[in-house]
């Protein structure tokens, strides 16, 4: 056999250059369809939400997000307390979760003995895998009684002069929901910020220490600033999770549609009202109002995320990793 005849044979069998171009194009086409599915799905989702809530939009318009009465019998719907509840519970959750998570992440990367770093990181990641309804049950059976008998009375006695810690203590409350949310988002913030801190190059650590920084000063003045944009990314991940969390919040927040100054008072969130009332929505307008709530929740989430991303983009300009990993 001569070398000249060989390529012809190969090409006849369909393994020539031409065949490869075709398979490449097909592969590329399949991947393009996969990628295009995301914006299409997104558009479909928004359209569907809009279509479902058209009735409520035409009846209530913008007043829907500025009024507070939610009365399915009288067919009056105002979602302001829901928006307030969603934002406040998420914000409080972050206030509790961020310092704790960062503390754990810094401890694990900088101070913990080598042999316990891996097991603890693993446990943290395991926490993130627990279904939210389990957190909710735990909240109802353990956390609520504990808060009602120990923590809330203490807060009331100590900080009772503030309007946030006044009024009757039921247990189910904005604060209880925020605490369970904090517990739920902590694993996310912890494990992502731990990874970001681990990826800070050793040269930065050494630079700070060689300048006479203590371990603690090195963390505060060099390591955390280096990881800043990644840590903000971790917090946003937690925020996104807190905004949309439904089950555990519904079980602990008390589900009352009003804006109260006191954190001991029950509240309501957008996700919780949808979960509670969707299966029982009797009238078209009730159904449509719930759809409208979903649309608002979607918009709030998008706005908050966009704002947070702008924040990252601003802080990471000229930074080391340009908002890497977000």
Interface residue list for other proteins (CB under 8 A): 114, 201, 203-214, 217, 221-222, 225-226, 318-320
For the CB of residue 210, give the shortest distance to other proteins in the complex, in Å: 4
CB of 317 to other proteins, least distance (A): 8
Q: Whose Cβ is closer to other proteins: residue 43's or residue 201's?
A: 201
Q: Which is nearer to other proteins, 55 or 326 (CB)?
A: 326
CA distance linking residue 91 with residue 97, whole number of Å: 10
- Nearest approach, Cβ of residue 199 and other proteins (Å): 14
Phi, psi of 77 (to 5 degrees): -135, 125
Q: How far is the CB of 222 from other proteins (least distance, A)?
A: 6
The label of the residue with tokens 């704002």 reads 307
In the complex with other proteins, the residue whose CB is nearer, 91 or 209, is 209
For the bound state, the minimum distance from the C-beta of residue 123 to other proteins, rounded and expressed in Å, comes to 23
Q: Which is nearer to other proteins, 28 or 215 (CB)?
A: 215
Choose between 107 and 170: whose C-beta lies nearer to other proteins: 107
Alpha-carbon gap, residue 78 to 85, rounded angstroms: 13
Closer CB to other proteins, 218 or 274, in the complex: 218
Check if the beta carbon of residue 172 is closer than 8 Å to that of residue 256.
no
Min dist CB 130 to other proteins, Å, is 34
Residue closer to other proteins, measured from CB, 24 or 217: 217
State the minimum distance, in angstroms, from the CB of residue 203 to other proteins. 4
């Amino acid at each position: 056999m001569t070398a000249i005849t060989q390529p012809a044979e190969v090409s006849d069998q369909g393994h020539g250059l031409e065949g490869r171009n075709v398979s490449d194009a097909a592969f590329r086409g399949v991947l393009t369809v996969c990628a295009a599915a995301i914006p299409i799905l997104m558009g479909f989702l928004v359209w569907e939400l809009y279509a479902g809530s058209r009735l409520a939009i035409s009846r209530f318009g913008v007043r829907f997000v500025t009024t507070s009465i939610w009365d399915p019998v009288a067919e009056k719907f105002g979602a302001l307390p829901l928006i307030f509840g969603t934002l406040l519970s998420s914000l409080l959750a972050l206030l509790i979760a961020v310092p704790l998570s960062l503390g754990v992440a810094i401890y694990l990367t900088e101070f913990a003995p080598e042999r316990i770093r891996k097991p603890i990181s693993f446990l943290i990641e395991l926490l993130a895998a627990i279904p939210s309804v389990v957190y909710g049950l735990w909240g109802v059976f353990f956390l609520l009684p504990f808060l009602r008998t120990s923590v809330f009375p203490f807060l009331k006695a100590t900080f009772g002069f503030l309007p946030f810690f006044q009024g009757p203590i039921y247990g189910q409350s904005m604060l209880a929901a925020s605490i369970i949310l904090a517990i739920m988002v902590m694993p996310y913030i912890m494990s992502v910020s731990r990874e970001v801190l681990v990826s800070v190059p050793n040269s930065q650590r050494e630079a700070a220490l060689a300048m006479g920084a203590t371990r603690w000063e090195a963390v505060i003045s060099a390591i955390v600033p280096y990881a800043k944009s990644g840590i903000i990314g971790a917090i946003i991940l937690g925020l996104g999770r807190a905004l949309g969390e439904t089950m555990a919040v519904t079980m602990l927040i008390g589900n009352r549609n009003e804006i109260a100054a006191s954190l001991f008072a029950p509240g309501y969130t957008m996700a919780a009202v949808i979960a509670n009332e969707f299966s029982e929505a009797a009238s078209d307008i009730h159904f449509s109002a719930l759809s409208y709530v979903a649309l608002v929740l979607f918009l709030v989430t998008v706005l908050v995320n966009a704002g947070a991303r702008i924040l990252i983009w601003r802080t990471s300009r000229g930074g080391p990793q340009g908002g890497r990993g977000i």
